[in-house]
Amino acid sequence: MMQEAVLRVEEMMTPQLVPAREQCEQQDLLAFRDRVFCLCLGFAGNAADAGDLTQETYAKALGHCAADRPANPLAWVLRIARNTCLDLARRKKSRGPQHPISEYAAVDRDTPESVAGRQEEITIVRRAIAVLPQRLREVLVMREYGELSYQEIALALGIGMGTVMSRLNRARSAVLRFYQEEHHGKSG
């Protein structure tokens, strides 16, 4: 009797949630979890924020999956992730400048010196990406962190393939310049 009442209340409270979840699971949305996380890592610059952003992205995706019925679920969920990351960046910008932190940076089973050196290099790369203009950063992050093809990036951002390539080229040059300046500045 009691269980029936609880079930009835649940049906009343979440009328479309269960079908939406089932549909999203059918579409294997959750299989893109790692790619979503990597994209968020590229945008956020640290693993802790990337984890939170991935959760937030999936919360949005699961909530809207049934209504939106995406034709290309991967592109759809990555677009949600990108927008979520940009929202966070905007919120952080309004709170003041922040630098990407180096927690959870790559740690291998090498000597402590090499690990420390590599961690520093990764931090420099993250900073180089963080200081890029948004239109260059999003292309670079989608390509290098999200592992999207040029065509997928063009579709996701609504720009031409040529624009994707030229932006990617400029972004890479800027990151390299920043990295070399910082690296030589520290080692020299």
Partner 1 sequence: MENQDKAWREIQLLIARDKAAALDEFRRRPFQPAAPARPPAWFRLHSALAAVAASLLLAVALAALWLLRANWESVPTPPTWSGILSDSFLYAKAGRGGSARFDDGATGPVSPYFAAWADTLERSATVSGGSPPTFPEQMVVERGDPEEVRRKIGRAIQEDVFERLLSDLHEFHEKEA
* Site residues (vs partner 1, CB under 8 A): 12-15, 17, 20-21, 33-34, 37-38, 41, 47, 50-51, 54-63, 104-108, 118, 121-122, 125-126, 144-145, 172-173, 175-176, 179-180
Summary count for the chain: helices (H), strands (E)? 9, 0
Instruction: Compare residues 87 and 96 and give the one whose CB is closer to partner 1.
Output: 87
Instruction: Compare residues 11 and 135 and give the one whose CB is closer to partner 1.
Output: 11
* All residues at 6 or more sequence positions from 102 whose CB lies less than 8 Å from its CB, including other chains: 46, 119, 120, 122, 123, 126
Instruction: Compare residues 88 and 121 and give the one whose CB is closer to partner 1.
Output: 121
Tokens 């992205």 identify what position?
Answer: 57
- What is the maximal distance between C-alpha atoms in the chain? 76
Q: How far is CA 14 from the centre of its chain?
A: 29
Query: Minimum distance between the CB of residue 186 and partner 1, rounded to whole angstroms?
Result: 15
Whether the CB-CB separation of 175 and 140 falls below 8 Å is answered with: yes
Query: Minimum distance between the CB of residue 24 and partner 1, rounded to whole angstroms?
Result: 10
Query: Minimum distance between the CB of residue 4 and partner 1, rounded to whole angstroms?
Result: 18
By residue count, the chain amounts to 188
Residue 50, amino acid: A
Query: Minimum distance between the CB of residue 36 and partner 1, rounded to whole angstroms?
Result: 10
Query: Minimum distance between the CB of residue 158 and partner 1, rounded to whole angstroms?
Result: 25
Q: Is the dihedral of CA 60, 65, 69, 74 positive or negative?
A: positive
Instruction: Compare residues 29 and 89 and give the one whose CB is closer to partner 1.
Output: 29
Instruction: Compare residues 89 and 171 and give the one whose CB is closer to partner 1.
Output: 171
Instruction: Compare residues 38 and 158 and give the one whose CB is closer to partner 1.
Output: 38
Query: Minimum distance between the CB of residue 162 and partner 1, rounded to whole angstroms?
Result: 19
**Distance between CA atoms of residues 14 and 18, nearest Å:** 7
Whether the CB-CB separation of 62 and 169 falls below 8 Å is answered with: no
Whether the CB-CB separation of 183 and 129 falls below 8 Å is answered with: no
